[in-house]
């Protein structure tokens, strides 16, 4: 009885993992046929074949991919709405918006521009 429950939990986790991978591929538009995505998908599908749920895993992956693409579209629309909101804002109000100072950690002044270069 206990081992049967573990099998069900393992199958659920496998389906969740396939969905998450599909979602990430859809959202970030990763290539499916090369690199880490391909390896991860093959790994998930090989386990699914052993468990006898390959069709369900593929379905979960495809659903995640579509959901990821939709979420990305919604996020882009929201970003455009925010940009449009600031588009007609007076310069004084735009200047009042605090933007944190950003300087990449890898940035440094080139040696020939430093005062005491050697």
- Give 15-74 pLDDT, tens digit per residue: 999 999 999 999 999 999 889 999 999 999 999 999 999 999 999 999 999 999 999 988
Residue 15 belongs to a domain:
yes
Position 36 in a domain: yes
Q: 115 in a domain, yes or no? A: no
Residue 102 falls within a domain, yes or no? no
Say whether pLDDT at 2 is over 50: no
Domain limits at 41? Answer: 2-97
Residue 112 placed within a domain: no
Composition of the chain by helix, strand, coil, percent to 5:
75, 0, 25
Instruction: Provide the pLDDT for residue 1.
Output: 39
Q: How many domains does the chain have?
A: 1
67 within domain boundaries:
yes
Distance CA 82, CA 41 (A): 36
> Is residue 93 in some structural domain?
yes
């Amino acid at each position: 009885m206990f081992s049967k429950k573990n099998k069900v939990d393992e199958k659920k986790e496998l389906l969740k993992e396939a969905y998450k991978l599909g979602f990430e591929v859809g959202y970030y538009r990763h290539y499916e046929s090369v690199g880490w995505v391909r390896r991860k998908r093959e790994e998930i599908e090989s386990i699914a074949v052993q468990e006898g749920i390959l069709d369900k895993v593929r379905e979960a992956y495809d659903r995640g991919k579509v959901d990821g693409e939709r979420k990305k579209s919604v996020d882009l629309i929201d970003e455009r709405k925010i940009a449009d909101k600031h588009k007609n804002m007076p310069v004084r109000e735009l200047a009042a918006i605090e933007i944190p100072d950003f300087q990449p950690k890898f940035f440094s002044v080139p040696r020939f521009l430093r005062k005491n270069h050697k």
